[in-house]
Chain A
Amino acid sequence: MLNFSKIKKSLLTAIWFMFLTFPIMVIHINPVEKAVEWRWHNMFLVGAGSFLLSLLWHYLIKKKERCFKDAGACESDTAPFLQRFMNEPRLYKPALSALTVISLSFPFLFSSYQVNIMTTALMYAVLGLGLNIVVGLAGLLDLGYVAFYAVGAYSYALLNHHFGLGFWTVLPVGALLGALFGILLGFPVLRLRGDYLAIVTLGFGEIIRLILENWNEFSFGPSGIANIARPSFFGMQFPLKGATIYIYFLMIALALFTVFVVSRLQNSRIGRAWEALREDEIACQAMGIDKTRTKLSAFALGATWAGMMGVVFAARTTFINPASFTFIESAIILSIVVLGGMGSIPGVIAGAFILILLPEHLRVFSEYRMLIFGAVLIIMMVFRPQGMISMTRRIYRFENVKEGRGIDK
């Protein structure tokens, strides 16, 4: 399987890497003793490591190519296993009930730090599901998604600060404002596709952040807004620990609501129109689909969730400033969608949990976070471009059309 040429290639890679990392890994200048240390063992480690990784890489590529040649040979891979799992009620029902029990008892078993991370993961899951409408279903690459998140957060912060409006009043307002801004962004970019759309949305995200940063009279600039009220429970306020648990359950409810709405949307008329628009705009128009309205609805419905999560974010942290809404947030949400599987609801949720929980639990490697992040994305693109859990097409059954049994959707 691994022939001589592959080993030779890996050896060359290893030598090349040893050469490349020589200045930073081997030479060490000690300015105190004015001496140069030569750390040759580092060179050996780099060489051995890159040689093994390269071998593994070639092995996996080869395996993938073999799979490609005779389809069906590698069907029972790890990833379709997840899909089979989803389709087998006997397997997923106990798992689902276990999940329910765990998620309900979670805040009482773990520290509030853990609960806080879990809440963050849930928030990103909802954000991912929202972006999934725009990117996964409608195929519009949106790099400025965080702008809508900021809109939601600031709408709660400002309305609370100036008018003392409560969390529950602003939650729908934030969602609505998010949708409004989605349409606002949607209008000028309707004609754009692909890379051009990505650039404009990226710009839009930055514009919103810069406005918030510089318009001191309106948004209090970089110093942000503090003392935002936490969500109340029928007028009652919780102490800090109680509030953490309360927000956790709130997020669980919101996440379930999102999953419900998004899955309904996906299998609806407009969901199909989005998918069709992603595939062929001209054919779509020839079918009588209003391109403008369909695209705008995708932007608006995607932004709604970001607006809503923004309100939750502001209520949870009680302090916001523009630094929370930088491009990296958009990038993380987008990675959640891409890593999890575009268009797939369980995929996006899994992606959110992995991308948010893993860095928290692997604080040891925090210095290498971006390195690992980049490597994971590259590896995913090479070996599993459709994401961890790829989107499954809904199957329509038409067994007995002649007898007029018709469409069971």
Chain B
Amino acid sequence: MEISEGEIITLIGANGAGKTTTLMSISGLVPPKSGEILFLGKPIHKMSPDKIVSLGISQVPEGRRIFPHLTVMENLHMGAFLRRDTDRIKKDLEYIFELFPILPSRRHQTGGTLSGGEQQMLAISRALMARPRLLLLDEPSLGLAPKIIKQIFEIIRKINAEHKTTIFLVEQNANLALQAADRGYVMENGSIVLSDTAQNLLSNNDVKKAYLGL
């Protein structure tokens, strides 16, 4: 599997195929049993999660996992935990508040009081606060209304376009993910069975049958 700079890559597959595990391995939360993960040519699969984050890989975990008792601002500051450049952090905050105009009005609320969509936005913002070169997104559509999902996917593409942030998207909603992505991988039982451009995958008959429900 390969992700080039500036791309949006998606990994699709059924429940239990190993999508989240793949993501967790990249971010170092689950050490891989075998194989190698290279980031910018350096092996990272033996590093601790905090080292990996400091290299510029930032994750939006599945089910959002925001800090429910910290305020929105504090959640965002946790995202910038490893950074010391206060001025840039301020700029990034402004950028994020432009990206998600709902967040500034909620900034003193605790994370747990936000709605599902707002929490997802906060989770993405929190990951962006680390200024990632590679953003790992795990099921951003989980449990959200179709309208919000559409909004979030638009923003994901916007982040990719404006910041050249490479995005690795893991999704169950294959249709949506393939529409947003440049290229896609299909995973089954823990191994990649298919890889192609997103366009081709969308028109691939097997993929259509198995994941798109057409």
Contact = CB atoms under 8 A, between A and B. Distances in A.
Interface of A: 269, 272-273, 275-276, 279-280, 282-292, 393, 395-396, 398, 401-402, 404, 406-407
Contacts of A272: 70, 74, 77-78, 81
For B48, B50, B110, the residue with the greatest tally of chain A CB atoms inside 10 Å of its CB is: B50
Nearest to B53: A288
Interface string B49-78: 110111000111100011111110110011
Contact of B86 (A291, A396, A404, A407): A407
Nearest to A280: B65
A401 B104 contact: yes
A238 to B, nearest CB: 48
B97 interface: yes
Nearest to A279: B67
Given A282-B29, A288-B81, 16 more contacts: A269-B81, A273-B78, A279-B67, A279-B69, A282-B65, A285-B49, A286-B60, A287-B79, A287-B82, A287-B130, A290-B50, A292-B48, A393-B71, A395-B71, A396-B71, A401-B97
A276 B78 contact: yes
A286 B68 contact: no
Nearest to B77: A272
B90 interface: yes
Given A269-B81, A398-B107, A287 B126 contact: yes
B74 A286 contact: no
Contacts of B60: 286
Contacts of B130: 287-288
Nearest to A404: B90
Interface in B110-138: 110, 126-127, 130
B27 interface: yes
For B27, B67, B70, B71, the residue with the greatest tally of chain A CB atoms inside 10 Å of its CB is: B67
27 contacts: A272-B81, A275-B67, A276-B67, A276-B70, A276-B78, A279-B68, A279-B70, A280-B65, A282-B65, A283-B61, A285-B27, A286-B27, A286-B29, A286-B49, A286-B60, A286-B61, A287-B126, A287-B130, A289-B78, A290-B48, A393-B69, A393-B110, A395-B108, A396-B71, A398-B73, A401-B94, A402-B94
B58 A283 contact: no
A159 B82 CA distance: 41
Contacts of B186: none
B110 to A, nearest CB: 7
B198 interface: no
B11 interface: no
B37 to A, nearest CB: 16
Contacts of A283: 61, 65-67
Nearest to A277: B67
A287 B78 contact: yes
A230 B119 CA distance: 57
Contacts of A288: 49-50, 52-54, 58, 81-82, 130
Contacts of A273: 78, 81
Given A272-B74, A393-B110, A287 B53 contact: yes
A213 B29 CA distance: 43
Contacts of A286: 27, 29, 49, 53, 58-61, 65, 127
Contacts of A285: 27-29, 49-50
B67 A280 contact: yes
B193 to A, nearest CB: 28
A402 B98 CA distance: 10
A283 B59 CA distance: 9
A284 B93 CA distance: 19
Contacts of B65: 280, 282-283, 286
A386 to B, nearest CB: 11
B64 to A, nearest CB: 9
A407 B65 CA distance: 25
A239 to B, nearest CB: 52
A287 B61 CA distance: 10
For A275, A280, A292, A393, the residue with the greatest tally of chain B CB atoms inside 10 Å of its CB is: A280
Contacts of B93: 398, 401
Nearest to A405: B90
Nearest to A343: B69
A395 B93 CA distance: 17
Contacts of B48: 290, 292
